[in-house]
Structure 1
Amino acid sequence: MKTAAALVLLLGAGTAHAQTSVAFYGLVDAAIVVEDGGTAGRVTKVTSGAAAASRFGLRGVEELGDGMAAFFTLEGGTKIDTGEIDAAGTIFNRQAYVGLRTRFGSVALGRQYTPYHTAMVSIVDPFNTGYAGSAKSLFPHNGTNIRTSNTITYATPKKNGFDGELAYSVGEQSRSAAGRQFGGAIGYAAGPLAVRLVYNNKNTDVAANGATPAVDRSIGRNILLAASYNAGWIKLHSGISSDKGDNAAPLINANNPYGGVRPTPSTDGRSYLLGISAPVMGGTLLASVLHKDDRTRFNQDANAWGIGYLYALSKRTGLYAAYGHVDNRNGAGYTVANNTESGSGDTAYNLGVRHSF
């Protein structure tokens, strides 16, 4: 936090000279989490970021004239339960990018969210990929499906409700495509309706390391169709994801949480979600049902559902409670995740508080 404070002072000192608007912001989230159903038995803990990852960050914009502006974001995660930085050896592990915006769109370079993640959070999942009801339990939404380093992005301006985005992540491996990833999205959002079609492609080759030769694997591909409709008294959410190839749909908990024969991550599957969010008794009710259709010979399908309630004490502070459950078939290994943890069993409860600044 001392580093972040020093950066605030440094950037603040340059504000008057550069006419740049700089903001320091953050989110603090902690919950009591109870997990059950795995070989670890019932686990009770205090978790940082069950609803949304705790974070601090700096973001700024400088207007350059003629419709052009420079912008940046530096955002790091922190663990409220222990006070640690979220990822060892990094400060701004969540987002770190700089870019230019013009009337023809915006370009940014650095560590950024993928188009797949943006659609999942903003359209598909009523839980915004957080809480015990998170779509992460069955949808391939972890690792490089969320954010990528060494990334170049382009976003079109929105016109008549339509917009698009492209993202390309450089693998930075000598004579190898390992780690290379690209994706894009086209969408329409106007009035109560939002629809988005997303494509994600990641090379899962393993680059050579010294005397160890490279390992050729397959390309993992994700195609996501996202849609939501806000009727005022209720908002409907839906998503269908088609996932093919090696590492296209890794298990969110790869540690064999149920014991026995280790589950096999699907290399050909579909994920489905239907959900709602609605104002109820001064708060917001969230609910969703999910299905995983594994089309490989293992046929490791799963069903899941979640329910939650958010209650705002103010514009910045709120309380929440959530419950999620997964029903695995044929030795599948899906667990009930939240925003920051993969989960250890087929059932989980959350009771927490969050504050933004």
Structure 2
Amino acid sequence: MKRSFAFAAALTACAAASAQSSVTMYGVVDQYFDRTDTGTVSVNRLQSGGLAGSRLGFRGREDLGGGYGAFFLLEMGINADDGSLGQGGLGFGRQSFVGLATPYGDISLGRQYVPHFYSLVTYALNGGLAFGQSVNYYTDPSVLRANNSVSYSTKTWNGFTGQLFHAMGENAASKSLGNVSAASLSYASGPLKAGVAYTQRKTTAANTDRYLVVGGTYDFGVVKAGLVATQRRDDNNTNESTLYDLTLTIPVGSTSAVALDLGRFQNKSVANADSTAFTVRYDYFLSKRTTLYTGLAKIKNDAGAAFGVNGATGAAVALTPGQDPRTFVAGIRHTF
């Protein structure tokens, strides 16, 4: 009888522990066919990551009581077309961090997205940097993630949420070289979302790059409109630019949507290096987990610009300055 009671008590304790902590495995597999005409040649490719980068991830959380909790996330990028690792072959190159949730906000440490990234994906087309977004064609990808970072995110208060972020370059020759510091403030209430993010990165002893993002979306029901404006400045006046991206997402019943995107990149440091992009994309939702998509994109580059059409992780075709690429894609995304 005593043994039976002890066994039942052990099972109860295990069940209670399981209820207080959890680990979830998740992922995305996204493949698409890409045909690009550069004006001189046509290139056919199968690529990974049109709407979302293919990935495998693990997230976990433990309830510590009193509004506190521990959490972690490990997420590896996968090039599903050939099975290789993304992000240059890093094991968990997309994200890898651990943190503590408190009643006053969340603190996390590791390789994480910079607030700059979250502002872009929140106010760009359908959320996420993907095929169909001019902001994706024109954005500097080197400022989207940072290693050795500490992030603090506030709780939501009257619709407002803030984030402070700092990443250490860990350069022995300079205390600040490679450092990334950022902050953001966002607001969400009903159909309206809006926000601003500021980032600075010490690239050399004599230069700091500075990025500003302002954006917003409004869901009218029959159409969702979004606008993102970014500005890049540096001390040496060699990489200064502005970007405007206007998006419209039009639901077609409950099973599909049409997305329209118009973007304009203006190079402030190099003459005749501006660019304009237009994209139309159609998404068909086979289920909550599986989406078919197709679309057409056109970029008009000035004589000194060489921007191409890329997906979430699928690369653009290499161009020579002044070429105007036209790209057709058709793909499938499945999440689990």
TM-score if structure 1 supplies the norm length?
Answer: 0.83
CA contact (8 A) 2:125 2:249 kept: no
CA RMSD of aligned residues (A): 2.1
Query: Which residue of the partner structure matches residue 351 of structure 1?
Result: 330
Q: 1:114 to 1:247 in 2, by over 3 A?
A: farther
1:85 pairs with 2:57: no
Q: 1:125 to 1:116 in 2, by over 3 A?
A: farther
Q: CA deviation at 1:137?
A: 1.3
Q: CA deviation at 1:16?
A: 7.3
Alignment size in residue pairs: 314
CA contact (8 A) 2:129 2:312 kept: yes
For 1:78, what is the secondary structure of its paired residue?
Answer: strand
- Larger C-alpha radius of gyration, 1 or 2? 2
- State the AA in 1 paired with 2:102: T
Distance 1:244 1:287 in 2: 29
Distance 1:48 1:163 in 2: 33
Q: C-alpha offsets along residues 104-162 of structure 1, whole Å, 9 cap, x if unaligned?
A: 00000001111111111121334631125452212x2412x211111100001101001
More strand by share: 2
Query: Which residue of the partner structure matches residue 239 of structure 2?
Result: 267
Q: 1:328 to 1:167 in 2, by over 3 A?
A: same
Q: 1:197 to 1:88 in 2, by over 3 A?
A: closer
Distance 1:196 1:286 in 2: 22
Query: Which residue of the partner structure matches residue 155 of structure 2?
Result: 157
Query: Which residue of the partner structure matches residue 311 of structure 1?
Result: 284
Q: CA deviation at 1:98?
A: 0.4
Q: Percent of counterpart pairs with the same letter?
A: 32
For 1:343, what is the secondary structure of its paired residue?
Answer: coil
Q: CA deviation at 1:327?
A: 0.6
Q: C-alpha offsets along residues 207-254 of structure 1, whole Å, 9 cap, x if unaligned?
A: xxxxxxxxx341111111011101111110001111111799xxxxxx
Q: Which piece of structure 1 moves more, 187-196 or 275-284?
A: 275-284
1:339 pairs with 2:336: no
- In the alignment, structure 1 segments of 5+ residues that lack a partner are 1-13, 206-215, 249-265
Distance 1:356 1:172 in 2: 36
Identify which of 295, 301, 304 aligns with 2:268. 295
Query: Which residue of the partner structure matches residue 189 of structure 1?
Result: 188
Q: Which piece of structure 1 moves more, 234-243 or 126-135?
A: 126-135
Q: 1:110 to 1:15 in 2, by over 3 A?
A: farther
Q: C-alpha offsets along residues 289-309 of structure 1, whole Å, 9 cap, x if unaligned?
A: 011122235141111111101
Ranges of 4+ aligned residues in structure 1 off by more than 4 Å: 14-18
Query: Which residue of the partner structure matches residue 178 of structure 2?
Result: 179
CA contact (8 A) 1:267 1:296 kept: yes
Identify which of 131, 144, 147 aligns with 2:145. 147
1:199 pairs with 2:213: no
CA contact (8 A) 1:133 1:322 kept: no
Distance 1:193 1:167 in 2: 25
For 1:158, what is the secondary structure of its paired residue?
Answer: coil
- In the alignment, structure 2 segments of 5+ residues that lack a partner are 1-13, 320-324
CA contact (8 A) 1:292 1:303 kept: yes
1:221 pairs with 2:221: no
Query: Which residue of the partner structure matches residue 44 of structure 2?
Result: 44
